[in-house]
Chain A
Amino acid sequence: MFKYILKRFLMVIPVIIGVSFLVYFIISLTPGDPVKMMLGEEASEESIQEVRDELGLDKPIIVQYFKYISKLVRGDLGVSYRSKRPVLGEIVARFPITLKLTFWSMLVAIIIAVPLGIISATKQYTLTDSICSVAALIGAAVPNFWYGLMLIIWFSLGLGWFPSGGYEGIKSMVLPSITLGTTAAAIITRMTRSSMLEVVRQDYIRTAKAKGVNKKVVIRKHALRNALIPIVTVVGLQFGHMLGGMVLTETVFSIPGMGRLMVDSIKSKDTPMVLGCIITLATVFSLVNLCIDILYAFIDPRIKSVYK
């Protein structure tokens, strides 16, 4: 098992390197001279050339990339064009906010969605099921940046219960968490429902019932664990969506997290910062997927025996 985890962990590394190359390549297509961006339009030709040499910008892109990656390995993500401070430092300062928000949103989404999905599946074709299914369908279709604005209109501007933005205290986290969590909750509900419906049809559920096991216990003990793999998978994917969705949510609620940092960096063409942000988010997403993979083994002994 440990060997498997190690192996999977090592497999994350080439993916991250690949991501860095992909994003580096894409960003390098940006028109305009990055040095001018750094030094401002009035900088003299000489000083521009000086910086160009220093950064190796006249060399082919592949050489530049290797320079970048060799620094990256040492934890150096370069210097922000805009703030002139190290990229890593800014990311470290902002990332916890994003991660915290994502984590709480996901937790709330799971706590709401899994029971709803189970209820919906066990009461298939009833009114409860229809209400849950339609709610989930709508929840999955709502654009979260719009939904966030609607929440601000009602709960912040209208009722005055929560602040409309910023990052001060728990109260300011409520609306962003709901915004981020709703889509995930809707999708997890749908997956839980369909996965449970699939499992409930299986022969071993009939066997359990034939033993005289109470219906509720059958669902809790026999069905849920078997339905968990697709649910956990979708939670992992939703985590990625949330990290992407932060770009919007943080903009809507003016939260100083990484999403905002990235949008601002893109607007000011702060290439090292954009690169740093995307690589960090992709790394986190890959690690989450790694955790999900390991989780599979604890859910299903068949997968565990393959891992050995």
Chain B
Amino acid sequence: MESAIKEKYMSTVEIENLVVEFKTDDDIVKAVNGVNLKVERGKTLGLVGETGAGKTTTALSILRLIPNPPGIIKEGKITLDGHNLFDYTEDEMDKIRGNKVSMIFQDPMTSLNPVITVGEQIAEGIQIHQNLNKSEAMKKAEEMLELVGIQKERATEYPHQFSGGMKQRVVIAIALSCNPQLLIADEPTTALDVTIQAQVLELMKNLREKYNTSMIMITHDLGIVAEVCDEVSIMYAGKIVEHGNLEDIFENTKHPYTEGLFNSLPNIEDRKSMLKPIKGLMPDPTNLPKGCAFHPRCIYAKEICSKREPVVTQLSDTHYVCCLAYENTEVKINGGGLIE
């Protein structure tokens, strides 16, 4: 019995039917429209999609840090080890933030407080969550700095004295300082040089293995996904359109949008081949298209796609897709494997 419960809660974090909206002066922006996610202990999930797909909003919902107003979590449930995070008070949430769940933010240049020393910024979380006094926390902070490859003497310096890559290391040190169960990394490398990118990714991989941390890696870079993730969720207009393990997504692509993402990548083997970008732009989130949100840009779209909303189709134990082609015979996707 007990083991069954344990089994059930093997997944550290589970998001069910999350809906997040932002109210502006005249419109309602539907940022997240019914997302379901699951990350198991020690596993890494890649959350992939274009800018504005709702990835960051989904991540911030886990920490309950959606700016309110204008943002509001309309519906859904996020459970961490079986406890619904939305039931917690703010004070209880503070014990989870930075402790059980922590986040690495996208832009290291703006993520650190310019008027507080780097050491203090790392020590702050440690002091809160580990019942240490100031000097003990500071010592631990220096250790964290060394762990991410910065000399501990620099703990007394301010963020403006660090380069972009160094700042991101500091942000990572802050996020990892309390050995979180779940680490959310929101495009941790976009703001960095390519050479630094690889170092930072390597660092995160090592730390994950050391502490058996679960991770959600938000990115639009499929290369990073292939390198660090176990599973991938493809997000479009606030919805997960395809989910599977690396093999499902890379070798057995099902959703036309996922296909489009792959086709937009340059092909190293055939440099003369043309890029095939996805036509058009992300839809206006205040006015999403009826039916399947992707249909105006979809090369296989039929009339029904603008009328009926697709539901999730399970293709295998690990592979899910949300496209009418797999529910209705009218829509056809030529060839099973989409990528030649």
Contacts and interface: CB of A to CB of B under 8 A. Distances in A.
Question: How many interface residues does chain A have, given as a range?
Answer: 20 to 34
B69 interface: yes
Given A125-B69, A214-B91, A222-B113, 16 more contacts: A202-B110, A203-B105, A206-B111, A207-B111, A208-B113, A209-B97, A210-B98, A211-B97, A212-B94, A212-B96, A212-B128, A213-B98, A213-B124, A213-B125, A300-B114, A302-B114
A211 B113 contact: no
Interface in B46-105: 63, 65, 67, 69, 90-91, 94-99, 102-103, 105
Contacts of A226: 113-115
A222 B120 CA distance: 11
B107 A203 contact: yes
Interface of B: 63, 65, 67, 69, 90-91, 94-99, 102-103, 105, 107, 110-116, 121, 124-125, 128-129, 158, 160-161, 171, 174
A198 B174 CA distance: 24
Contact of A222 (B116, B158, B174): B116
A299 interface: yes
A30 interface: no
Contacts of B174: 207, 211
B113 A299 contact: no
Nearest to B129: A212
16 contacts: A203-B107, A204-B110, A204-B111, A206-B65, A207-B112, A207-B174, A209-B63, A209-B65, A210-B102, A211-B102, A211-B124, A212-B96, A212-B97, A212-B128, A213-B94, A301-B114
A299 B116 CA distance: 10
Top 6 closest pairs, chain A to chain B, by CB = A211-B98, A212-B98, A211-B125, A212-B97, A203-B110, A204-B113
Contacts of B96: 212
A125 B99 CA distance: 31
Interface in A183-237: 201-204, 206-215, 221-222, 225-226
B124 A203 contact: no
Nearest to A208: B113
B307 to A, nearest CB: 39
Nearest to A214: B94
A204 B128 contact: no
Q: Which of A207, A211, A221, A222 has the most CB of B within 10 A?
A: A211
A204 B107 CA distance: 10
Interface of A: 124-125, 201-204, 206-215, 221-222, 225-226, 299-302, 305
B125 A204 contact: no
Contacts of A208: 113, 124
A125 B116 CA distance: 30
A208 B111 CA distance: 9
A303 to B, nearest CB: 10
Contacts of A124: 69
Q: Which of A209, A226, A299, A300 has the most CB of B within 10 A?
A: A209
Contacts of B90: 215
B67 to A, nearest CB: 8
Contacts of A225: 115-116
A203 B111 contact: yes
B105 A206 contact: yes
A258 to B, nearest CB: 38
Nearest to B60: A206
A210 B103 contact: yes
Nearest to B64: A209
A68 B189 CA distance: 66
B113 A207 contact: yes
B116 A213 contact: no
A213 B137 CA distance: 15
Nearest to B96: A212
A221 B124 CA distance: 11
B298 to A, nearest CB: 35
Contacts of A125: 69
Q: Which of B91, B99, B116 has the most CB of A within 10 A?
A: B116
Given A207-B111, A226-B114, A301 B158 contact: yes
Contacts of B103: 210
Given A203-B107, A301-B158, A301-B160, A210 B113 contact: no
A268 B96 CA distance: 73
B110 A299 contact: no
A301 to B, nearest CB: 4
A306 B96 CA distance: 39
Contacts of B171: 207
A302 B161 CA distance: 9
A203 B174 CA distance: 14
Contacts of B125: 211-213
Given A210-B102, A302-B158, A305-B160, A204 B97 contact: no
A204 B98 contact: no
A273 B62 CA distance: 69
Contacts of B107: 203
A301 B113 CA distance: 11
Contacts of B116: 221-222, 225
A129 B160 CA distance: 34
Nearest to A305: B160
A214 B89 CA distance: 12
